[in-house]
Structure formats: structure tokens, C-alpha cells
Amino acid sequence: MKATDLLTIGEVSRRSGLATSTLRYYETLGLIRSSRTAGDRRRYPRAVLRRLAVVRSAQNVGLSLDEIVSTLSELDPDAAPTKKQWSRISAQWRPLLAQRISDLEAIRDNLDSCIGCGCLSMRQCALYNPQDELGDQGSGPRRKVPVLDEDPHG
């Protein structure tokens, strides 16, 4: 790869609209990769811009960084995703999107019963306790209330 094919972190930042700190963070996650100059400066292949476009698209879809890392780990880190790869990746996101839509619809439906209520009851409120998490542990109180040894006012 010719040196002119490589971009500095500042150039990648300007072209992608991402802060240099974000680029360094993405690099620690393995989303992008750089090489180093003799002076220990980062240099990115031009393909990093396409890779960052995929990251941005995935974030717009609502994928977590863990999910994006998993998806991009299947691709060559130094090459732009091909049309075929992009098609396959976006197809993988469809069921994730469907699940998120379903989850959001459930939250919306539960919100209807909360409007004007404000109780945030562990027993009744499906928004506050959506899976009735403590209810799975049995009936009755499930959380310990700290007991004071002494009366603080005594």
C-alpha cells in the first residue's frame, strides 16, 4: 500500500465527521485498524471511511457497539466492504430490527397504562418492572431493607 493511500487520524476525522477520540476508541474495540509510522503516528487505509459508514449505519439502526463489532469482525479490516458483503450484513440486521420494533411496541402499549399514573409500582408497572424480575423469585418481599442498628435520632 502506498503512503498516499493512507490517511492521518485528522483526515479520517474530517471526512467521517467523527472525533479523533471516537476513532481511537473504535480502534480499541477492533472496529477499525491503523498502522503506525516510524514516528508512531496512526495511518488508516482509505477503506476505513467505508467501514465507518457501516458503523454509522448500524448505529442508526440501533445496534449496540458489541453487535457492530461482531458484524465487522467477519470483514477484512483493511478493505472496504463489498456490495455483496453489505447486502449480507444488512440482511442480518433485519431480524434485530424486527425484535427492536416489537420491544418498542410492547413498551408503547405498556405506557398507555402508565399515563397519568405515576405509581412506578414493582407489582403493577410494566414499564418499571417489565419482566416482573423479582416476581420470578417467588411471592412476597424480595429485596432486603437495610436495618439500622441504632436509632439515628436516639
Q: Which residues bind ligand FES (CB under 6 A)?
A: 113-114, 117-121, 124-125, 127
Distances (CA, A) of 127 to 61, 100, 117, 118: 23, 16, 12, 11
Minimum CB distance to ligand FES, residue 142 (Å): 19
Minimum CB distance to ligand FES, residue 101 (Å): 22
Integer Cα distance of 77 and 47 in angstroms: 8
Choose between 22 and 110: whose C-beta lies nearer to ligand FES. 110
Choose between 13 and 110: whose C-beta lies nearer to ligand FES. 110
Choose between 99 and 121: whose C-beta lies nearer to ligand FES. 121
Minimum CB distance to ligand FES, residue 104 (Å): 17
Choose between 79 and 111: whose C-beta lies nearer to ligand FES. 111
Minimum CB distance to ligand FES, residue 99 (Å): 23
